Every structure is written in C-alpha cells, then in structure tokens.
C-alpha cells in the first residue's frame, strides 16, 4: 500500500468524533463502505455517526443492523471534529447538509474511486482503477490490522464489491478484487449466498411487472451500437413501485448483442435521471455524462436532464453518436 493509506489512517485516528457521509441515492457500495469504515473507526477508538440524506433501499436495510445510518438533520453537525466522505469526491453528491460542513473549517477526508476529485480534502484515498470504494476500505483494514475484519465488516464490504462490479462482471475487477472478496468470505465466516440473497433475491411481483414494461421500452438507436431504455412515472404508479426499484435496469440493454453502450432514462419529477453504461473503449460514458453536468467512470456514469423524456433522449443520444463518430 502507498503512503496515502498510512497518512489517512494516522489523521483519522487523531479525532474523537467523525461524521461519515455516503452519497445521495445510496447504493450497495456507498453504504457498504460507509458502514465498513465506521466500524473501523469504532475499533480504533474513534466515535462516529453515519449520515445519508436519502432513504435506504429496501435490499440494503439489513446492513444498518451493523451501523445505523441517520438523516443529517437529526444531529448538530458542528459537534463533529472532522468529516469523512465515502464513494463520492465532490460535496454536492452528498446533499445540502454535507455541503454546509465546509463552513465549519474542520478537516474533510475522502475515500473514493471516481475520477476528478475536488481539491478540498486534507487527506484522501482516490483510486479510479479500484473496483469499488469498499475495496479501498478493505485496503485500509489490510494496511492497519486485517484481524479487525469481522463478520459485520466483511458482509458490508463484500456487499459493495459485489454490487459495484455487477457480481464480478465488470472490467474494473482485478486479481486484487478477487483476493479481497475471498478474504472477506474467509474472515467473515459466510458463503456468498448469505449476502447475494439479501441483495438480489427479494423481488416482489410488482417489481418484476415494472421490469417487464421497462424491457418493452428498449430501443436500438438506428445504425449504431447504442441502446436505450425508459421508465416513466406513470409506469411506477401503475405497478405500485418506486424509483429505487429500477436499480440495475441499465444492465439489460447493454446485454444485447452488438451493443457498445446504453442509456437508461427515468422520469424524476421535472428532471430525467440518466444512467449510462459502456462495455467498449470506443465510448467513454464519463465524458458523455459530463456534457450534462454529471459524471462517474469511463464505463458507468450518470447525470440529470432538465426537460421532457423526449428531449432528454434526443439530446443525450446525439452526444453519444457524436463521440462514436469521432473515433
């Protein structure tokens, strides 16, 4: 491990009370990393509270038995002597309460694997080649004391690695990722299905009804390797589902033969949520997303479009086609 791990570990241990934030619209990696690092802090004599402005997805609520995740408004954030941000590298990704701590003049720390981090952190671990933020938290345990990995830590970190790699399918998976997953299973004393069943085997009939409608919306952009999928608010209402139930939908159009990239569009109030995925070096969806003030990774990114579904599809697809034509 590099000096950045020992540097962050040293700085975190100097504090008495740290607020740990995970990003808006939480997923398995941000919650797993948040809980994992919070448990690490406790094991090393540092009090912490975990915060997220949004509600926890149903399939991740079981993780909060290891460490409760609070809404920021439940606490006076000025009472903490430092703030740690996981799975995001810009304060706006964590909500308005997180952005407000910048005024406290106290140390800000970060653990993340997304490109182009903000230059506001006193110390950070930022590795864009890592499979997940949970892999980075695992590295902290490895650097400091791997014997501190117990069942709770292992299950939290394994959840993030599994979900952020598409169950070890993505290009971000390395030999180190697999070694990390194997050690988590060994030290945690559980089999993969103990976590996988909680994440993926809790679908309700109405969620599958929504997926069926979404699959019916898949279209291949004419004369291109780009596919799209749409979910309208009307579809959510008619199936009795929520926007959280669309998690993972973006992977379906990407599985079509000959498709190099896909875009999932979902109505979200007066905006359209855009999720972009690529399985080819021909299309960098981070560059694509940044055209709409979003971002993420080369092969997985997201953004929002202010306007109608039809406008969003037209504008976003046009940018993707332009990137392809430049190759």
Six token digits for residue 184: 């988590």
Both 250 and 122 in one domain: the answer is no
- If one counts the domains in the chain, the total is 2
Both 105 and 217 in one domain: the answer is no
- Cα angle 136-167-135, degrees, rounded to a multiple of 5: 5
Using the predicted structure, report yes or no on whether residue 327 has a pLDDT greater than 60.
no
- CATH number for 281: 3.10.310.30
Compute φ and ψ for 262, nearest 5 degrees: -145, 160
Domain that holds residue 298: 205-325
Both 62 and 131 in one domain: the answer is yes
- Please tell me whether residue 89 adopts helix, strand or coil conformation: coil
Both 195 and 239 in one domain: the answer is no
Q: Are 93 and 80 in contact (CB under 8 A)?
A: no
Six token digits for residue 200: 């993926």
Strand 261-268 with 226-231, pairing:
parallel
Both 107 and 136 in one domain: the answer is yes
Q: Are 30 and 59 in contact (CB under 8 A)?
A: no
- CATH number for 147: 3.90.1640.10
Q: Which of 199, 226, 259 represents a domain boundary (last residue)?
A: 199
Both 22 and 146 in one domain: the answer is yes
What Å distances lie between residue 39 and 18, 240, 246, CA to CA? 12, 36, 30
Six token digits for residue 33: 């990393």
Both 242 and 321 in one domain: the answer is yes
Both 185 and 211 in one domain: the answer is no
Give CA 201 to chain center in angstroms. 20
pLDDT at 282: 85
pLDDT at 135: 98
157-187 burial, b for 16+ CB within 10 Å, e for fewer?
bbbbbbbbbeeeebebbeeebeebbebbbeb
What Å distances lie between residue 7 and 12, 38, 102, 118, 142, CA to CA? 9, 18, 21, 19, 14
Both 75 and 180 in one domain: the answer is yes
Position 46 confidence tier, pLDDT thresholds 50, 70, 90: very high
Average pLDDT of the chain, as a whole number = 94
Residue 51 CB contacts under 8 Å (≥ 6 apart), including other chains: 19, 20, 21, 22, 69, 70, 71, 72, 75, 97, 98
Closest CA relative to residue 50, chosen from 78, 25, 75: 75
pLDDT digits (tens, 9 = 90+) for 269-321: 999 999 999 998 889 999 999 999 888 888 889 999 999 999 999 999 999 99
pLDDT digits (tens, 9 = 90+) for 49-102: 999 999 999 899 999 999 999 999 999 999 999 999 999 999 999 999 999 999
Closest CA relative to residue 241, chosen from 285, 206, 196, 268: 206
Both 172 and 289 in one domain: the answer is no
Taking residues 33-62, what's their average pLDDT? 96
Both 155 and 29 in one domain: the answer is yes
Both 38 and 151 in one domain: the answer is yes
Residue 174 CB contacts under 8 Å (≥ 6 apart), including other chains: 129, 131
pLDDT at 90: 92
Q: Up-side HSE of residue 129: CA atoms within 13 Å toward CB?
A: 3
Closest CA relative to residue 30, chosen from 9, 54, 3: 54
Outline where DSSP puts E strands in the chain.
17-22, 47-51, 69-70, 82-86, 108-112, 123-126, 219-220, 226-231, 261-268, 271-278, 295-296, 300-306
Q: Which of 147, 179, 199 represents a domain boundary (last residue)?
A: 199
Closest CA relative to residue 261, chosen from 295, 211, 291, 298: 298
Six token digits for residue 108: 């800000």
Closest CA relative to residue 72, chosen from 55, 53, 56: 53
Residue 236 CB contacts under 8 Å (≥ 6 apart), including other chains: 210, 242, 243, 245
Q: Which of 199, 227, 251 represents a domain boundary (last residue)?
A: 199
pLDDT digits (tens, 9 = 90+) for 214-266: 999 999 998 899 999 999 999 999 999 999 899 889 999 999 999 999 999 99
pLDDT digits (tens, 9 = 90+) for 196-214: 999 988 788 999 999 999 9
Closest CA relative to residue 55, chosen from 69, 67, 66, 65: 69
């Amino acid at each position: 491990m590099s000096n950045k791990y020992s540097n962050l570990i040293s700085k975190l241990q100097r504090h008495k009370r740290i607020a740990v934030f995970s990003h808006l619209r939480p997923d398995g990696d941000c919650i797993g990393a948040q809980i994992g690092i919070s448990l690490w802090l406790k094991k090393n004599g540092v009090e912490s509270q975990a915060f997220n402005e949004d509600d926890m997805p149903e399939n991740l609520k079981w993780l909060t038995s290891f460490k409760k995740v609070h809404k920021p408004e439940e606490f006076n954030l000025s009472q903490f002597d430092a703030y740690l941000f996981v799975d995001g590298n810009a304060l706006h990704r964590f909500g308005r309460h997180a952005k407000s701590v910048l005024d406290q003049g106290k140390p800000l720390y970060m653990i993340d694997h997304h490109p182009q981090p903000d230059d506001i952190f006193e110390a950070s671990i930022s590795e864009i080649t890592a499979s997940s933020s949970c892999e980075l938290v695992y590295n902290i345990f490895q650097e400091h004391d791997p014997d501190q990995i117990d069942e709770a830590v292992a299950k939290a970190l394994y959840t993030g690695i599994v979900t952020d790699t598409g169950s070890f399918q993505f290009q971000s998976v390395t030999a180190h990722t697999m070694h990390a997953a194997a050690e988590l299973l060994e030290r945690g004393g559980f089999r993969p299905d103990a976590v996988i069943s909680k994440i993926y085997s809790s679908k309700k009939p109405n969620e599958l009804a929504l997926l069926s409608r979404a699959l019916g919306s898949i279209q291949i952009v004419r004369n291109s390797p780009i596919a799209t999928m749409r979910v309208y608010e009307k579809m959510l209402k008619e199936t009795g589902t929520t926007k959280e139930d669309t998690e993972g939908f973006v992977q379906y159009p990407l599985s079509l033969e000959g498709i190099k990239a896909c875009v999932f569009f979902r109505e979200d109030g007066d905006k359209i949520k855009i999720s972009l995925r690529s399985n080819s070096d021909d299309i960098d969806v981070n560059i694509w997303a940044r055209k709409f003030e979003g971002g993420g990774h080369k092969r997985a990114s997201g953004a929002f479009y202010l306007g109608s579904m039809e406008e969003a599809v037209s504008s976003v697809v046009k940018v993707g086609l332009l990137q392809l034509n430049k190759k």
